[in-house]
Amino acid sequence: MLDFDIEIATIAVNCGTGRIVTREGREVIITCWNSGNLYHYPIKGYIPSISKCPVYWTNKGKYTIASASSDNKYDLFIEELC
């Protein structure tokens, strides 16, 4: 898994060379890269294995701003599909 970078993530997903996963390796479906909550949580998606309810992340792939200095099991990563 690669550390999350929003630019690399969008390219990987759009080109089919990668997918977004949580720290635990759960698949994440991104529904919007620039949601209405641009200041803190621009990334909107859901984790199908848990719920179809929307989840929001920071542009650095952090589940919450409070977790910026610590790890959270829902933080985002890029998994290569090569």
Q: What percent of the chain has pLDDT over 70?
A: 89
Query: Looking at per-residue confidence, does 20 or 38 come out higher?
Result: 20
Residue 68, pLDDT score? 62
Domain that holds residue 53: 2-80
Let me know: does 48 contact 27? Beta carbons within 8 Å: yes
Question: Which band of pLDDT confidence, cut at 50, 70 and 90, is reported for residue 40?
Answer: confident
If one counts the domains in the chain, the total is: 1
Q: What is the band of 70 on the pLDDT scale with cuts at 50, 70, 90?
A: confident
User: Residue for token digits 């997918």?
Assistant: 19
Whether 69 shows a pLDDT value over 80: the answer reads no
What are the percentages of helix, strand and coil residues in the chain, rounded to 5?
Answer: 20, 30, 50
Residue 56 tokens, joined: 């929001």
pLDDT score, position 64: 76
Q: What is the pLDDT of residues 2-34, one digit of tens each?
A: 999 999 999 999 999 999 999 999 999 999 998
Whose tokens are 């990563």? That residue is: 77
